[in-house]
Chain A
Amino acid sequence: MPTSTLTRDTPPPGAPAPRRRGPAGTLGARRHGRRLAADLALLAAALAFVLPLAWLLFASVDADSGLTARPPTDVTWDNFDAVATADITFRPLLNSLILCGSATAITVVAAALAAYPLSRYRSRLNRPFMLTILFTTSLPITAIMVPVYGLFVQINLIDTMSGTAFFLASSQLPFAIWLMKNFMDGVPKVLEEAAWTDGASSMQALVRVILPLMGPGVTVVTVFSFIMMWGNFFVPFMLLLSPDQMPASVSIFELFGNMGSVVYGELAAFSIIYSAPAVLLYVLIARRLGGGFALGGAVKG
């Protein structure tokens, strides 16, 4: 870090005079041309990225949708009506909500508690602990799902919502602690000390002073954890067995299951309903995340 700070500061701060040699007009024209080229290139990329999404939107309102993205000739809401039943939409979504909601609650509470001493007290154990956390953050969770399945069978947690929620929460915990600690480091200690002199205990200081002050940070951790779990397919796919407990990420395969008889319009409609919460929540926190949020939280420290 010190080296990059050094290079960043190299231009002398005392000399901000614009160094414009040569005719200003050419430079401006060149810049204009380059902007146009950049715009065109970006639009081409956007077109390529939007095609699969366009299929989703078109197919969901098309009376006889195929696999090609084309504007529907016959706009209808029938697909949405068809999937709006308890079995297809409401129960899986409710399952997703219960599963991811409780897992997110566990993650956020545990992470906030853990972040407090890590951020506030100096200890020889802090650094090894945070390094272990960082290490765990990047382990491929997919790889441990087979042993987790075996373990869950042994201790009778297989096919239980609570067991799955606890596992989801734990798998998200390292990253949540990491983010939460870094957000908490940003809250000045002075305010907390004021609370202490007023007779608050450290837990009271955490709940009444620190967490409200780092509200945006807590929101980011909560929403991010929830989105990650909402989209998680492999964990519930492995740990839940009975169909009436399946969250939307797994139950969607029922719609898609027997490939011959897929009603693509309904699949698209359900996909939209299922994706909407994740997209909306992301929009909610997008500004807070800023550019490269993971790095904002994780790398810059």
Chain B
Amino acid sequence: MTKHTPAPAGPRDAAAGAAARVPGQAGGGRRPGSPKHPQPPDSVLRALLRALPVGPSVVLMLLFLAGPIAYCVWIAFTDLQLSGQAESSFVGLENFRTAFGDEGFINAVWLTLVFTILSSIVGQNTLGLALASLMQRASKTVRTVTGAIVITAWVVPEVVAGFLLYAFFRREGTLNSVLDWLHLPSQNWLYTLPILAVSFANIWRGTAFSMLVYSAALSEIPKEITEAAEVDGAGGWRKLWHVTLPMIRRSIATNLMLNTLQTLSVFGLIWAMTRGGPGDRSQTLPLFMYEQAFKNNLLGYGTAVALLLLLVGALFSLVYMRMLRTEV
């Protein structure tokens, strides 16, 4: 078997084979078993054999990821309903027109924006950076304890996190007890400011990721540079702005992108805390999509919303790839 050939020979063989094939085709005669040129069919076969292990993954991803996405694009343009309808018909852009005229949809878009900006871009990102840079200076014990607690909040399953934060924000919950103890006014957070409560829940749950990313990034800044800045008289903020942030800007970009993508698709956390309520005051796009598709049985409409969400995600994903493109 030719499999024993060391791999580096592979591409060269293939190139030689391709070159050898050209005159053969020009001659018109294609003899697969030709003893003089065994290379062409052999190298094609070998390329196929080599690619074979990728097969299972490709099949799985085509069936379960690409398939649904294609199906999504199709039924977003139909009036498919969950029950009581024999067949659906093509309705063109009707679903999208409905969406942009639907107060519920506009509401969901706003809430998603607030939720994403507040919890991901402002909350997780800034708090993660703050914790990471504090950890650089803190004593080892404090660093370990804080790290363990913040990471536990991240590792706990999404639904459990939802329950914990539900208990925390309830009228008779921990937050109000603390506020009472501090003689500050308390209120029913899940009723008066549900979107704020779920945003804080997402910060609680997601900060660990940013913290880990920034800890790694900060530890790669050589000490000489920060010390030089200190010796030159740069204070804390100036050092942060002119030295630290520029040096970790790639990590910042990556982290922002991943946080945003993750936050866009949060469902379980909000579902466990408020189910999108009261009313629709914490109903972000994923919950709106779910409600339209399953509570109102408008599968086509729900999917159109899903497609919009997918497009926003894909857009972010493309930006993210451009930032990493030198590294693939």
Report the stretch among B23-31, B34-42, B89-97, B246-254 that lies at the interface. B246-254
Provided the pairs A43-B142, A113-B53, A146-B289 are in contact, do residues A278 and B261 lie with their beta carbons within 8 angstroms?
Answer: no
Closest to A27 in B: B230
Q: Across the interface, do B222 and A8 meet the contact criterion of CB distance under 8 Å?
A: yes
User: Nearest Cβ in chain B — how far from A70, in angstroms?
Assistant: 8
- On chain B, the residues within 8 Å of A271 by CB distance are 160, 163-164
Provided the pairs A134-B324, A290-B216 are in contact, do residues A256 and B163 lie with their beta carbons within 8 angstroms?
Answer: yes
B window 262-294: CB within 8 A of A = 264-268, 271-272, 286, 289-290, 293
Q: Across the interface, do B157 and A249 meet the contact criterion of CB distance under 8 Å?
A: yes
- The reply on A230 being an interface residue by CB < 8 A is yes
Q: Across the interface, do A117 and B50 meet the contact criterion of CB distance under 8 Å?
A: yes
Q: Across the interface, do A146 and B293 meet the contact criterion of CB distance under 8 Å?
A: yes
How many A residues, CB 8 Å from partner? 113
Closest to A127 in B: B328
- On chain B, the residues within 8 Å of A39 by CB distance are 138-139, 142
Q: Across the interface, do A118 and B54 meet the contact criterion of CB distance under 8 Å?
A: yes
User: Nearest Cβ in chain B — how far from A244, in angstroms?
Assistant: 19
Q: Contact flags (1/0) for B186-221 with A, using CB distance below 8 Å? A: 000000000000000000100101001111110110
Q: Across the interface, do B65 and A197 meet the contact criterion of CB distance under 8 Å?
A: no
Q: Across the interface, do A42 and B143 meet the contact criterion of CB distance under 8 Å?
A: yes
Cα distance, A291 to B321, chains bound together (Å): 22
- On chain B, the residues within 8 Å of A183 by CB distance are none
Name, among A122, A140, A271, the residue most crowded by chain B CB atoms within 10 Å (CB to CB).
A140
Provided the pairs A68-B173, A292-B216 are in contact, do residues A131 and B156 lie with their beta carbons within 8 angstroms?
Answer: no
- On chain B, the residues within 8 Å of A68 by CB distance are 172-174, 177
Task: List chain A positions with a Cβ less than 8 A from chain B.
Answer: 1, 4, 7-8, 10-11, 19, 21, 34-35, 38-39, 41-43, 45-46, 49-56, 59, 66-70, 106, 109-111, 113-114, 116-118, 120-123, 125, 127, 129-131, 134-151, 166-167, 169-171, 173-174, 177, 189, 193, 196-197, 199, 201-203, 227, 230-234, 237, 249, 252-253, 256, 264, 267, 271, 274-275, 278-279, 282, 286, 290-296, 299-301
